[in-house]
């Protein structure tokens, strides 16, 4: 193998990570886990929605794309965890959030992790109770509360490793 090929492989190989994403030596994301057609389709959809533009061989985020990202960031509020690691785990949370609300479902899972909940199944979690009052109010505000059921356990849940 030539030195050129070795350098190209080094640049492509995801040995570095930034914010949980594989990157090359330049800090650019590496999409090795995706098929080329999947990436091309996603780029095509983003271009069709006018979120990105191609200027020669450069890919740029358009003003519409910047506004879309800003709306997504502002859409879902972030909460701090009122619990500590020693909090008793006596609340079972079960949810069925529809696929059309995938972003909200991921946001909800993110906060369950943040509140030190343990996943039993994808939509069944156990952790400290009660859920923070502000958090519950926000769930009602974004109309997600009806998709969630909570059950107080008679005794603490002991996680088996």
What percentage of the chain reaches a pLDDT higher than 70? Answer: 78
pLDDT given for residue 40 in this prediction: 81
pLDDT given for residue 44 in this prediction: 86
User: Is 3.40.50.1220 the CATH classification of the domain at 89-152?
Assistant: no
pLDDT at 2 over 60: no
* C-alpha dist (Å) from residue 112 to 3, 34, 105, 127: 48, 28, 11, 8
Question: Are 13 and 24 in contact, with CB atoms under 8 Å apart?
Answer: yes
pLDDT given for residue 10 in this prediction: 61
Exposure on the CB side of residue 24, measured as CA atoms within 13 A: 13
Q: What is the distance of C-alpha 113 from the center of its chain?
A: 11
pLDDT, average across residues 14-37: 70
pLDDT given for residue 161 in this prediction: 55
Q: Which residue would you say has higher pLDDT here, 109 or 74? A: 109
Mean pLDDT of the chain: 81
What tokens does 41 get? 């389709």
Task: In whole angstroms, give the CA distance from residue 77 to residue 67.
Answer: 17
Every domain range in the chain assigned CATH 3.30.70.240: 89-152
pLDDT at 146 over 60: yes
Q: What are phi and psi of 51, to 5 degrees?
A: -90, -25
Task: In whole angstroms, give the CA distance from residue 25 to residue 15.
Answer: 8
pLDDT per residue as tens digits for the range 110-141: 999 988 888 999 899 999 989 999 999 999 98
Question: Are 126 and 157 in contact, with CB atoms under 8 Å apart?
Answer: yes
What percentage of the chain reaches a pLDDT higher than 90? Answer: 22
pLDDT, average across residues 20-48: 76
């Amino acid at each position: 193998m030539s030195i050129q090929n070795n350098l190209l492989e080094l640049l492509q190989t995801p040995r570095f990570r930034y914010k949980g994403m594989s990157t090359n030596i330049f800090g650019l994301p590496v999409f090795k886990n995706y098929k080329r057609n999947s990436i091309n389709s996603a780029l095509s959809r983003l271009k069709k929605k006018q979120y990105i533009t191609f200027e020669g061989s450069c890919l740029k985020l358009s003003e519409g794309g910047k506004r879309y990202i800003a709306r997504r960031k502002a859409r879902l509020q972030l909460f701090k965890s009122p619990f500590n690691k020693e909090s008793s785990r006596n609340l079972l949370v079960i949810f069925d959030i529809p696929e059309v609300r995938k972003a909200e479902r991921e946001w909800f899972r993110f906060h369950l992790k943040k509140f030190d909940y343990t996943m039993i199944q994808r939509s069944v979690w156990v952790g400290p109770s009660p859920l923070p009052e502000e958090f519950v109010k926000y769930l009602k505000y974004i109309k997600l509360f009806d998709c969630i059921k909570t059950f107080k356990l008679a005794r603490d849940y002991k996680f088996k490793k």
